[in-house]
Chain A
Amino acid sequence: MINLVNIRKIRYFIRDYWPTLLTLASLGIVILLIMASYKTFKESKNDLDVLTEEVKLLKNRSDTLQFNKTLTEDQIVVYNKILTTLIPETEDYFSIIYALETISQNTGFSIVSYTINLSDTSREKLSINIEGRGNPGDFTRFLDAYKFSGGRLITSERIEFSGVNFTNTRVSLNFYSKKFTFNESVVPQLTKNDVAKLEEIKKKIKISFKDEGAPTKEEYDLKDNPF
């Protein structure tokens, strides 16, 4: 009986207020539609923001590479070889001896002995005390050339020079080696100064690079089938 009364009430309610109910229902539907479309809009906007950032980074990366390409005029491979020669990945004692010989020949300052200075040597740095003979002019030429002309980066932390009482001279020289590790997330942009510096160094060094692309002649016959 109670249920019957309730149903009748609802029927009366609907019959009396259907335009109002229809308005409310329409509003509800439109609000739901707005919420759904706004959600889609928000998702698309998020996608757009992420994509914009990605494209911006990629564009920067690409532009930087194009700029570097133009700046180095495809010389970057040569520059890298020079840098690898100056600071090898692992220490190469032969190149140290060769560098000292080269500097000696180029400057006339004759290096007569060298000893490793263990107390100042570290994993990246090899310190060598050298003793040389020559006149003040030779030593000045040595001072002008030692840094790059041997093909290795050489530094000297302290230099004494007496042009008046010049006899045998002892100098402490440092040689460096270090592995290169990728640690930057962005592509570095090269500057004209970077290139100019390497060009200057290139002029100081006489290094011949083997053409890696040239095919090497096999010295023995190769067989596909080992049996």
Chain B
Amino acid sequence: MKKRLNLFNRKKRFDFFSAYANKVKQYGSVIGVILFLVFIFTIIQTIAVRGQVQSLTKSKQKYLALLINDKDIEANTRYFKGKQTQLLKYEKDDANFLPYYSVLVSALSSSSQSATLDSIEIDKNRDATFIVKFKDYDGMVQFLKYVESEEFLNNFEALSMASLNLSRASGSTTKVQSAVNKNYQLQFKGRFKEINDQPR
């Protein structure tokens, strides 16, 4: 068999590279197209974001202009809120006596006709001590029943009877007189439930 030499055939060099060259050409063009599309996509996105930035810059200028116009209102609002916070803080120092006093007086009047509020002391924590006087024993018993009712206890977070005092008026000599001038006193200690009343 004759051996022929093809003079047009060029020997491939760089064998290590030739193995990948075809694959690079084959896939490279596909990857190139994909990457180009990615490039176009990022460009479009950048243009869109730039558009939004411009729009927001205009909004920012608009709001800044509004705020400059309303700077007095802003200062007044801050001052108002600051002072109001002080007011609310200091108001907590107040015993807010009258609403609690009124609650107790109306409760007493509906309990027993002979019940009289002798004295009352209320502090800023709504802790209260009050003395109720009665002219007769029945009135006291009637009041004690009322004290245990939910209607009365609803006004208090805590309430306990501190003392019961039976006193006689001075100068009473006869048994009849002493029976007439007897005074019954009940002292209570407790804490009122908070009343969210309007400013007085």
Assembly CA distance A125 to B198 (angstroms): 24
B171, CB-defined interface residue at 8 Å: no
Judge whether A54 and B60 touch: CB under 8 Å. yes
A residues less than 8 Å from B70 (CB atoms)? 62, 65-66, 69
* Additional pairs, 8, CB under 8 Å, beyond known A181-B82, A200-B199: A16-B10, A37-B46, A44-B49, A47-B53, A58-B63, A80-B83, A160-B121, A188-B78
Which residue of chain A has the shortest Cβ distance to B85 in the bound complex?
Answer: A188
A residues less than 8 Å from B5 (CB atoms)? none
A109, CB-defined interface residue at 8 Å: no
* Known contacts A31-B35, A62-B67; A147/B199 CB under 8 A: yes
Judge whether B77 and A68 touch: CB under 8 Å. yes
Q: Which of A80, A159, A181 sits near B76, CB closer than 8 Å?
A: A80
As a 0/1 sequence over residues 166 to 185 of chain A, the CB contacts with chain B under 8 angstroms (1 = contact) are: 00000000101010111110
As a 0/1 sequence over residues 52 to 64 of chain A, the CB contacts with chain B under 8 angstroms (1 = contact) are: 1011001101101
Task: Name A63-113 residues within 8 Å CB distance of B.
Answer: 64-66, 68-69, 76-77, 79-80, 83-84, 86-87
Assembly CA distance A155 to B91 (angstroms): 7
Listed in ascending order, the chain A residues whose CB lies under 8 Å from chain B are 9, 12-13, 16-17, 19-20, 23-24, 26-27, 30-31, 33-34, 37-38, 40-41, 44-45, 47-48, 51-52, 54-55, 58-59, 61-62, 64-66, 68-69, 76-77, 79-80, 83-84, 86-87, 125, 140, 143-145, 147-148, 153, 155-165, 174, 176, 178, 180-184, 187-188, 190, 194, 196-198, 200-201, 204
Assembly CA distance A61 to B68 (angstroms): 11
Judge whether B198 and A200 touch: CB under 8 Å. yes
Judge whether B94 and A147 touch: CB under 8 Å. yes
Judge whether B46 and A40 touch: CB under 8 Å. yes
As a 0/1 sequence over residues 91 to 110 of chain B, the CB contacts with chain A under 8 angstroms (1 = contact) are: 10111011001000000000
B165, CB-defined interface residue at 8 Å: no
Interface residues on B, range: 35 or more
Q: Which of A38, A162, A182 sits near B118, CB closer than 8 Å?
A: A162
B176, CB-defined interface residue at 8 Å: no
Assembly CA distance A33 to B32 (angstroms): 12
Task: Name B1-57 residues within 8 Å CB distance of A.
Answer: 10, 12-14, 17-18, 21, 24-25, 28-29, 31-32, 35-36, 38-39, 42-43, 45-46, 49-50, 52-53, 56-57
* Known contacts A143-B98, A147-B94, A176-B86; A55/B56 CB under 8 A: yes
